Structure 1
Amino acid sequence: MKTISFLSLLAKHIVTNYSATIEELVIVMPNKRAKVFLLEELKKEVKQNSFAPKIISIEDFIQDIAGIRSVDSVELLFEFYTVYTSLTEKDQQPFEQFSNWGKTLLQDFNEIDRYLLEPNHVFSYLKDIEAIKRWNLEPQDKTKLIDNYLLFWENMPLYYDAFYKHLLSKGIGYQGLIYREAVENLNHFSNSIHHKIIFAGFNALNQAEEKIFQHLLSLEKAVVLWDVEETFLNDPYHDASLFARKIKKSWPHYKSNPYEWLFNEFKQPKHIQIMGTPKMIGQAKLVGEIIETISSEQNLENIAVVLGEENMLIPLLHSLPESVSHLNITMGYSGKNNPAQLLISKLFKMHQNAFNRSQTSYVFYYKDVLEVLQNPLVEPFAKAKAVVKKINENNYTFITHSKLVEFCEKGNDFFTLLFQKWEANPITVLEKISSVLLQIRNFLLDESSNDKLTNAFVYAVFKVINKLTTYCEEHKHITSIEGLFSLYKQIIDFAEVSFEGEPLQGLQIMGVLESRVLDFETVIITSMNEGVFPAGKSQNSFIPLDVKRELGLPTFKEKDAIYTYHFYHLLQRAKNVYLLYNTESEGIDAGEKSRFITQLEVEKQPNHTITHQIYNAYLPEKARELIQVEKSDLVMERLKEMAENGFSPSTLTTYIRNPIQFYFQRILRISDVDEVEENIAANTLGTIIHGALEELYKPYLNTFLSVSIIESMLQLANEEVLKQFKYVYKEGEITKGKNLLAFEVAKRNVFNFLQLEKRLLEQGDAVKVLFLEQNFEQILTDERLPFPIKIKGNVDRIELRNGKIRIIDYKTGKVEQNGLAIQHWQGLTEDIKYDKIIQLLCYAFMVQSEFPNKELEVGIISFKNLKVGFMPFQIKEGRELVSDLVDDSVLNDFKTELIVLLNEILNVELSFEEKII
C-alpha cells in the first residue's frame, strides 16, 4: 500500500472543502520549499482549471502583517553599530571588536521580541544579577574593567530601545522585531482580510506566532491543520509532541473545538536498518551503495537522503551511483566550506601578509603564493607552472611583487589579476576579488564540461563580495584589509550556496529543517551521532540558562524537542528507514550513536523490524603487496649503460637499502621534485660545509700546511660560509629563525674543524692536502663478472699525513668508530649498516692506482663527533685491532664482496624486490 503524504491529504482537504473559493485561500507553511510540492498535489486533485491559492511561508506571512522588510544579519550589525556609536561618546570600539559581542546581543534581542517579553524587565533582571555577583566588592577593589562591564549591562535597554526605533524609522527589522510589530498590528490586519487562512504542518511556535494563530482562530478567519502523531501525543514524556501537548492543553480554542489532524502512521509496518560505519566518507559510500540497491525497486522521487551534517554533501555527490540521473538538493550548503570561499580566504591571507610585512615593499611568502596557484580553481587557468618551478628552483622563501610578476609570461592577465598589489582601500580590494571570480566563472563557462556544482560555488561567493561592496560603500566603518577580512569571515558563515534542481524529479537530498511537511517512502538519514543529530547543548547568549527558563525563553531542552519532532516526522510515514552513524571513536564528530537510535530500540513498535549492522571498509590481509620488478631487456640495457658510465658508492648502497628505490632513482631516473627548502635540511647544510672547506683549502693544495695558513683560513671562514649559503641556498632566508641557527652551526663546524687541524699541526703533524672534492674512477675487471664495470665517485679529501696517504670523507651527522669496523667480510654488501664501510673501501679501490706501493688510510671525520678526529676503517678480531690500513689483501677481500653485489644487480633472473624499511 502506497504511503499517503501529509501534503496529499492537505490537497484533498482543500479541494473538498474550499473548491469554490480556492483561489482566495492563503495557505501558510513552515517553509518556502513545501510550496512546489503542495502545488503538485493540488494539480492531481483539481479536476477543472482554477487559479492556485496563495501559498507562502510563515516568515513572509508575518512580514505582510507587520509591513516591515526583513534584512540580513550583517546589515543589521552595521545599523546596530551606527546606533552604538551615537550612544557612546568615548571609548568607542572599532567595528571588528564591536561585532564580536554585537552579534550575540542581536540574537538576544531577537529572542526577547519573538517571545513578546517586556524588554526593560529582562534587561533590569540581567543587570541586577550581574550587580549581585559583585555586591561584596569594596570600592578599592572595583577596576575600570568591572565598571565597564556593569556599564554594558546598564546600557542594554538603551541599545535595545534606540536600535528598535532606528529600524522602525527605516521600515526594516530583524525577525523578532517584525513578529512583535505583527502582533501590534494584528487587529488592523484581521479587520482588513476577507479570505480564509490555512496554517498547515506546524509544530513548535514562538509566543508571537501563538498569539497570531489564536487571534485568527478566535475570529474564525483561519484554521490550523497540524501534522501530529497520536502515538506521541498520548505519551506525556515523548519530546516529539512536547509542543503539541502544550498547545492542546493551553489554547482556549481547543477547550471547545477538536484538535484536528491527528494521525496514527508511526505504528504502521516499517523496516528500520541501523548502520554504523567509520568516518564521514564511509557513510557517503554506504549511502551510494544503498541507493544503488534500492533504486531498481522504487522511483528515486520516493527516496530522501537527509544529511545530519551538511559537510557530507560533497562526498555524497561523488559517491552516488550512475543510476541517479536526476537529483534535487534542497538544502543550504554553508559558505564556510565552499571551495571558492577557501580560495578567497587564501587570497586575503596572501595579500594581507604581503601588505603588512613591509610598508615600503610588497613581499609574498612562498607558501601563500603556492597555495593560491595550486588551488583547483586557479591551477588550470593561471598557466603558472614555470613560476612555481622558478620559486622552487631558486628556493625563494619570500619573493617580491616585482620578481613574481617578472617570472610570469607576458599577457597572462589572470595571473596579473591574482597578484596585483592590494591597497588599504576595501572597495578597491573587493573590486579586484570580484574580477578574479568573474574570470574564473568565464573560464568555467568556456570549458565543455561546464561543472554546474563549481559554478554554484563561485556564484555564491560572488554574491557575497557584491554584498560586501554595498556595505562598505554605505557604511564607512571598514578602513583596513584586516577589518574587511574579519567582516568577510562573518558574512561567509551566513552565505549558503543555492543549487539548481528539479524539485519533483529524481533523488531528494536535504537537510533536517528542509524535510518539514514532506514525506517519503524511503528515508536515509546520515550522521546519527550524539552531538550531531540532535545537536549538542550550545549557549550563544548573554542570558543565562536559569533566566531563560524563568522568562519562558527556549533552551536546549526545546531545541532538542524540535530535533525530536523532525526525526520522528521523517519516520512517520516512511516504510524503509536507514539510519547511518559514525562508529569511529576518535575526532570531533565521533562518539556514541544518537539517543534517537537507542530510543527507537527501547520503544520498539510491534510492527517495526529493526536491524543493526556494522559496516567496515574492506581490509586486505596485507596492507599492500611488496613491489617486484622483473629485469626486462630495456632494464638490462640501462644496467649495462650504468656499468659503462660507472657505479658510484651511493648507487651501490641505494640498492642495498632498497632495490626498488634503486630501480626508481637509477634505472628510471625519477628524481625528487624541487620544493622550496624553507628550513635548511641536513644534506644542504653538509653541502655548504663541504663547499666552504674546499674553497678555504684550495689555495694550499700540494703545500705542506702550517699554523699560520690555518689562522688565515680562520679569518676567512665566516665569509666563506656565507658565500656558500648564498650559492647553495640561493634566495632562501638565513637572517632569522631556524636558518639563522643553521648558519651559526655551519660557521661553528668549520671553525672547530680548523681548530682541530691547527692543534694537530702544533703537535707536529706534517700535512699536505693532495685532492679536494676530486672525481676518481677505476675499472673493475674480473672473470667472475659478465663484463668490466667502472666504479666512480667524488672523494672529499685526500691528504699525505705523516708519510701516509689518508682518504677522508666528511659527515655532518654523528658517526661512531664502532660503525667503521668489521670482523669478517661475509655479508658485507647485504646489510645497509655497512654502507659507510662500502663507501670508504670503494674510495680506496678507486684511488689505489694513483698511489702505488703506498699505505692507505680511509676514514671519516664526523662534525658531530669532532673531538674524536679522524676515524679509520678497521678490521678487528673480537675487541682486538687487526689492521687500520688498506692494502692489496684488504682490497681483494672487499672486491670479492663487491663482485657478489654487482652480480646480483646484473642478474637478469633476479627481480628488483622491495624491502620493508
Structure 2
Amino acid sequence: MTDQFTLLPQDADLVAAVAGLLEGTDLANCVVVFPGRRPAHFLRKQLYDKIGKSFEPPAVYSMDEFAAVLAEAAGAAGPEIGELDAAAIMHGLEPRLKGLGPLAGKTSADLDWFLPWAFKAYADFEELKKELRTPRDLGAFDLGLEAGEGADVFKRARDFSAKFGGFSKLYAAFYEELAAKGLLTPALKYAAAAAPGAAEAAGLGEKGLVILAGFYQLSRSEQKLIEGLFKLPNFRLLAQEGPGLDARYEFLAKKGLIKAVAGYKAAVPAAGKFTFYKAADTHSEVFALGQVIDKERYSEQDVIVIPSVDALFPVVHNILPEFAENNIAIGYPVSHTPVYSLVESIGRLLDRADGKAYFIPDYLDLVFHPYVKSSLHKGSPELTRIIFQVLQEHFLGRMSRYAELTAIEKDPDFIGAALKRLEHYEDYKAVTAGEITAHIKGIHDAVIRPFEEIKDIGDFAARLLRLVSYVSSSTTAYRHPYWEYFSGRFLALLDGIGGSRLARESFAARPSYFKFFGSAVKGAVYPFEGTPVKGLQVLGLLETRGLKFRRVYFLDANADALNVNGTGDAVLSDFMRGMLGLPTCREREAARKYYFETLLGAAREAHVFYRDNSKSEKSPFVEEILFRLEAAGADREKLENRVFFDLTFKNKEPAAAPKTPWVMKKLAATKFSPSALNHFLACPLRFYYLNVLGLREQEEMTEEISRASIGNIVHRALELYFQRGNRLGRPYKPGDFDEEKAAALFCLKEALAGFHLTDTDKGYGYVMRRQVEKRLEDILRYHMERLPGFTPLAVEVWLETDLTLPSGKTARLAGKADRIDLRPAEAGEKIVIVDYKTGSAAHVPAWQSFDPASPRSGWMDTLRSVQLPVYVLMAMTGKAEVAPGTPDHVSAALKGRGVSDFDARLMLLGRQEILEESLYKQYRSKLPDIPSTFEKYKAAICALLEEILDPALPFEPTKREEDCRFCPFKVMCGRQWVKE
C-alpha cells in the first residue's frame, strides 16, 4: 500500500486538490490527466490565481489524448481512421471471409444494407478492443454459445449466434487488416497504451508528478494503464467519493495497490441547499430559471447544466442575453441543424420521385425550407418568397400530385399568376416572365438537379459541398445565427466523406445516398467548445466531470434526458454486452448517477428543474434525493415548486359581430346563395366570416386528394356526360350499359385533365381514379335502373330571383343548380332540381315538425337546411341561364308552373347505396301538402333574410356546439375545444 491514492470527500474541489499537489513542483515537468478536456481550463486558471504571473503550465490531457501519447511512445504509429474508413475496410473483407452469415440481416454485399450495420458494428468492435477482448476470447464465446444448446439462459445468445454467426471472424480479420495496413483506431491506441512498459517508454517516470484525477468508469485498457502507472513513484490517483465508486476501484484493491474503497453512504443534504421546480415543459423550466438565477452576482462558479440539447437554445435566447459574461461547452447534434434538414428534404423529394416527376407535397416542403425560400434575387429574398407563395396556390388549384421541374419553370398559368401578383409590388412590376423562369430554374439547378445523377459517394459529397456553397453565397443563410458554425462543421464532415475509402463506392438508388449520409453523421455534433473560464457556465452533464460549482442550475432532470434507456444504436444487445464484459445499460446509468450526485453534492446551492406532464417524469436520481430529504423531515410539498401558468379553463362565449355601415353596404350588394343561407341558418357568425369578410380556410397540399376535390371531379364528369350524346332535352334512353359506361369514363378522363390530374396510372392517383370510376358506374346504374323516363333538361343552371320581404326590403337570391330534370309523376310531370352530394351526410327539412313560428334557436333541428327550398323558389319566380353553347330546354319548361309542379332532391352519391331524398319525402307513409309546406319554407327564407339585413341584429354565434365540429373558424371565435 502506498499514499499514491487519495479519496476526496464529495464536497471537495477536485481541481483545487490537483493544484495543491502541484504546488512547489516544476509545473512544466508535470502531467495531469482528467476524463475530459474541460477541467484543464479550470486548473490553469487556479494555478495562475496562485502564482499571479505567467508560467509554463503542466501538460494537461484528457484520457483520450493521454492514451494517444502513450501509444505513440510504445511504438503504435500510423494514421488514425474513423468509422467511414472502417466501414469500407469491413465491406472489403466481408466477401473474403467464409461462414460470416447474414451480418447485416439482409444480403451483406448490398452496400445499402451493409453500411448502416457496419457503422454500428465498428462502435462495438472498438468497445471490445478497448476492453482488450481478443479474437480468441470471442471465438471461445462462440463455442460457448453452441455448448449452451437447450439452456434457457443462452436462448438470446443462440439467437444472436444464428444471426451474426461470423461476428468474431470479422472482428479478428478487421484488426488484422488494420495492422497490415499500418492503421490505427482510438481503441488500438488505448490497447497500446495499456501494454506493459508504455508509461516508461513515454518517460513518465522522469516527470515531476503524474496525476490522474476524477475517473469513474474505466475500461479494461484504462485499468491496465493505471495499474502500470502505480509502478511509478511519482504517480498520484485522485478520486471523489460517490455512489458505485467502490465497485469501480475494486480492481486496484484486489491488486493491493490501494485500500478498498468503502461503500458510499449518501449524506443528509443540508437544509435549504436543494430547491426543486416542476414545470409543464422545457420552456416553462427556462422561464422559472430566469426568475431564480442570480443575474448580478455570478461567476464561473455558477453553472447551468443541460443533459439534453433540447433546452440549449431556449437558454441561449432567454437566459444568456442577461449575462454579459458566459461560456457554452456542449455538443449540439448536426442532425438538429437547418442545413441537415435541407439535405433531408432533398432526399425525401428524390425518394418519392417518379422519374423526372416530383411529388408536389415534398417539392413544396423543400422550396419552403428557410434556406431555399430565402434565395436572393438582386440582393433580396422577397421575390423568391412571393413566387413560391404563388406556386403553392397554383398547385392547390390542381389535383395532380406530381410535376416535372421543367414544367414548373415554364407553366404559363403559374407564370401569369406570378406576374399578376407582382403588379402589387412597386419593386417588382418590371419583372418579366423570362426572369421568373430563370430564377426558378437557377434554384432548381442548384438545389435539386445536381442530385438527379450521382456517380458515387465521393461525387455525392462534392455535390453537397456545392449545395452548401450555394446556400452560403446565394441565400440569406449567412445572416442566420450559427450558420457559420453549423455550416463549417457540415463542410468538415463532407470533406471527411469525400476523402474516405468509401468515396468510390456507389449505391443502386439515389435515396440510398441520403440514407447513408444520415447514418454517417448521426452521432456528429457541433461542439460549442468554450475556452474562457469566465462568467456563467453552460455545460452538458459529461462536461461537468471533475468540476465543482458554487451554484448549480440543473435543467431537464427527467428520466428521458438523464437516465439511460436501451443500448442505443448498437449491434450487440444489452444481454450480449454483459456476456462479453462490455458496459451495460445499468453500468452506464450508474456512471450518470455518479456524475449527477458528485456535481450536486459539491454545490452550495442546487436548483433542479424537471418536466411534470403525461409524457415525462422526474429522474429516479431526483426522486432518490427527494426521498432522503423527506426521511430527514422535510415536507415534499414545500420542496417542490410548481412552475405552471395560471390558466382559467372557463369557456368564454364567442363575441357577436356588429353590423357596421360597411357591413350593411356590403350586404345590400350581396346575392345570397342557397349555401350562404344555410351557413346563416347554422351560425350567423360563420356566415359573417365566410360571406361578409370573405375568409376561407387555408388549403394545404396534402398527399391525398380531398373528398371535396373528388366531388368536384364527379360533378364535372356528370356535367359532361349529360351535355354530350344529345342527352339534354329528351327522355333519357340509354343504350347498352357498356356503351354508356365508356361514354361516362371518357367524360371522367376529360374531367381529370381539366383539374390537371394526369398522374392516375400509378400510386395514389391510380387508386383514386379506380374509386371514382367505380362510383360513376354505380351512378350510371342508378339512373338507368331507378329513374325511368326522366328528361334531363340542363346541367349547371344559373338561377336568380329578387325576393320582396315582408318588411318591404328586397333581397337577391342566386345560385347554380347541378341539374334540372323533367320527371313523370302521378298527375303529369314535375320539374325536379337535383343537387349532387358526394358526402354521405345531408338532410332535407323535416316538414312534419318545422314551424316558422317556433323559436329560431330550434330551427337547425327541424328546418335543417334551406338549400332545396331556395332552389325551388328561384326556379319558380326567377330566371334560369344555361351554360353558353348549350340549348335552353329549361326556360320554356319552367313557365306557367305552380308550386305543386316543383320538387328538389338531394342525390346522395357518397353513400354506399346511392339514393335520393325529396324535399317532400314521405313521413310515416304520409306525403305533405306541398303548397302549405312550401309557404312555411318561404316564410323561413324571408325570416333569415330579414335577420341578415336588420342592422340592429349582430351576427351571433350558434348556441349549438355540435354545429361547430367541422367549422373552420372555431379557433377564431373561441370554440376550439369542440372536437370533430
1:433 aligned residue (464, 482, 486)? 464
Report the CA distance shift for 1:488/1:800 in structure 2 as closer, same or farther (over 3 A). closer
Give the match's secondary structure for 1:881.
Answer: coil
Matches within 5 A, 1:167-316: 167-184=178-195, 185-186=197-198, 188-191=200-203, 194-195=206-207, 196-226=209-239, 228-229=240-241, 232=242, 238-239=243-244, 241-244=246-249, 246=250, 249-254=253-258, 271-278=273-280, 282-296=281-295, 298-299=297-298, 301-316=300-315
**Alpha-carbon distance in structure 1 between the residues aligned to 2:728 and 2:633:** 99
**Alpha-carbon distance in structure 1 between the residues aligned to 2:110 and 2:792:** 70
**Alpha-carbon distance in structure 1 between the residues aligned to 2:159 and 2:784:** 71
Report the CA distance shift for 1:104/1:689 in structure 2 as closer, same or farther (over 3 A). closer
Q: Which residue of 2 aligns with 1:373?
A: 367
Q: Which residue of 2 aligns with 1:390?
A: 394
Matches within 5 A, 1:132-147: 132-134=147-149
C-alpha contact 1:35 1:56 (8 A) present in aligned 2? yes
Matched, 1:528 2:557: yes
Q: State the AA in 2 paired with 1:13.
A: G
Q: Which residue of 2 aligns with 1:52?
A: 57
1:872 aligned residue (914, 918, 937)? 918
C-alpha contact 1:456 1:498 (8 A) present in aligned 2? no
1:838 positional shift: 0.9
Q: Which runs of 5+ in 2 are unaligned?
A: 1-9, 101-106, 152-157, 376-383, 412-435, 878-893, 965-980
**Alpha-carbon distance in structure 2 between the residues aligned to 1:151 and 1:584:** 40
Give the match's secondary structure for 2:564.
Answer: coil
Matched, 1:13 2:20: yes
1:42 aligned residue (44, 47, 54)? 47
1:634 aligned residue (662, 684, 690)? 662
Q: Which residue of 2 aligns with 1:652?
A: 677
In the TM superposition, what whole-angstrom CA distance separates every residue of 1:327-382 from its partner, at most 9, and x where no partner exists?
4331112223333212212212222433xx3xxx4221112211211222322225
Give the number of aligned pairs: 866
Q: Which moved more, 1:500-509 or 1:799-808?
A: 500-509
1:16 positional shift: 2.7
1:65 positional shift: 0.9
C-alpha contact 1:248 1:259 (8 A) present in aligned 2? no
Q: Which residue of 1 aligns with 2:104?
A: none
1:833 positional shift: 5.3
Q: Which moved more, 1:676-685 or 1:371-380?
A: 676-685
Q: Which residue of 2 aligns with 1:76?
A: 86
Matches within 5 A, 1:726-741: 726-727=753-754, 729-731=755-757, 733-736=759-762, 739-741=765-767
Matched, 1:129 2:144: yes
Q: State the AA in 2 paired with 1:434.
A: L
Report the CA distance shift for 1:42/1:550 in structure 2 as closer, same or farther (over 3 A). same
C-alpha contact 2:84 2:502 (8 A) present in aligned 1? no
Give the match's secondary structure for 2:344.
Answer: helix
1:424 aligned residue (426, 433, 454)? 454
Report the CA distance shift for 1:908/1:296 in structure 2 as closer, same or farther (over 3 A). farther
Matches within 5 A, 1:788-807: 788-802=810-824, 803-807=828-832
C-alpha contact 1:805 1:856 (8 A) present in aligned 2? yes
Report the CA distance shift for 1:848/1:191 in structure 2 as closer, same or farther (over 3 A). closer
Report the CA distance shift for 1:697/1:553 in structure 2 as closer, same or farther (over 3 A). closer
Give the match's secondary structure for 2:138.
Answer: helix
Give the match's secondary structure for 1:912.
Answer: coil
**Alpha-carbon distance in structure 2 between the residues aligned to 1:182 and 1:92:** 34
C-alpha contact 1:304 1:507 (8 A) present in aligned 2? yes
Identity of aligned residues (%): 18
**Alpha-carbon distance in structure 2 between the residues aligned to 1:776 and 1:151:** 73
TM-score, normalised relative to structure 2: 0.79
Give the match's secondary structure for 1:199.
Answer: strand
C-alpha contact 2:904 2:919 (8 A) present in aligned 1? yes
1:852 aligned residue (870, 891, 896)? 896
Q: Which runs of 5+ in 1 are unaligned?
A: 137-145, 233-237
Q: State the AA in 1 paired with 2:174.
A: F
C-alpha contact 2:142 2:161 (8 A) present in aligned 1? no
Report the CA distance shift for 1:207/1:310 in structure 2 as closer, same or farther (over 3 A). same
C-alpha contact 1:874 1:881 (8 A) present in aligned 2? yes
Q: State the AA in 1 paired with 2:816.
A: N
1:114 positional shift: 2.5
Matches within 5 A, 1:86-105: 86-87=96-97, 93-105=109-121
Give the match's secondary structure for 1:173.
Answer: coil
Report the CA distance shift for 1:542/1:880 in structure 2 as closer, same or farther (over 3 A). closer
Matched, 1:840 2:893: no
RMSD (Å) for aligned C-alpha atoms: 3.9
1:577 positional shift: 1.5
C-alpha contact 1:131 1:150 (8 A) present in aligned 2? no
Give the match's secondary structure for 1:524.
Answer: strand
Give the match's secondary structure for 2:549.
Answer: coil
C-alpha contact 2:840 2:909 (8 A) present in aligned 1? yes
In the TM superposition, what whole-angstrom CA distance separates every residue of 1:7-61 from its partner, at most 9, and x where no partner exists?
652464156332xx11222221211122222222222111333222222211111
Report the CA distance shift for 1:686/1:182 in structure 2 as closer, same or farther (over 3 A). closer
**Alpha-carbon distance in structure 1 between the residues aligned to 2:317 and 2:446:** 32
Q: Which moved more, 1:605-614 or 1:661-670?
A: 605-614
Report the CA distance shift for 1:623/1:489 in structure 2 as closer, same or farther (over 3 A). farther
TM-score, normalised relative to structure 1: 0.84
Give the match's secondary structure for 2:23.
Answer: helix
Q: Which residue of 1 aligns with 2:605?
A: 576
C-alpha contact 1:425 1:480 (8 A) present in aligned 2? no
Report the CA distance shift for 1:487/1:811 in structure 2 as closer, same or farther (over 3 A). closer
Report the CA distance shift for 1:911/1:271 in structure 2 as closer, same or farther (over 3 A). farther
Matches within 5 A, 1:538-687: 538=567, 553-586=582-615, 590-591=616-617, 593-602=619-628, 611-622=639-650, 626-642=654-670, 646-676=671-701, 678-687=703-712
1:659 positional shift: 2.8
Give the match's secondary structure for 1:204.
Answer: coil
Q: State the AA in 1 paired with 2:453.
A: E
Matched, 1:902 2:948: no
**Alpha-carbon distance in structure 1 between the residues aligned to 2:546 and 2:159:** 51
Q: Which residue of 2 aligns with 1:452?
A: 481
C-alpha contact 1:703 1:769 (8 A) present in aligned 2? yes
Report the CA distance shift for 1:736/1:624 in structure 2 as closer, same or farther (over 3 A). farther
Report the CA distance shift for 1:212/1:593 in structure 2 as closer, same or farther (over 3 A). closer
C-alpha contact 1:396 1:676 (8 A) present in aligned 2? no
**Alpha-carbon distance in structure 1 between the residues aligned to 2:735 and 2:180:** 90
1:127 positional shift: 1.2
1:881 aligned residue (921, 927, 947)? 927
Q: State the AA in 1 paired with 2:466.
A: S
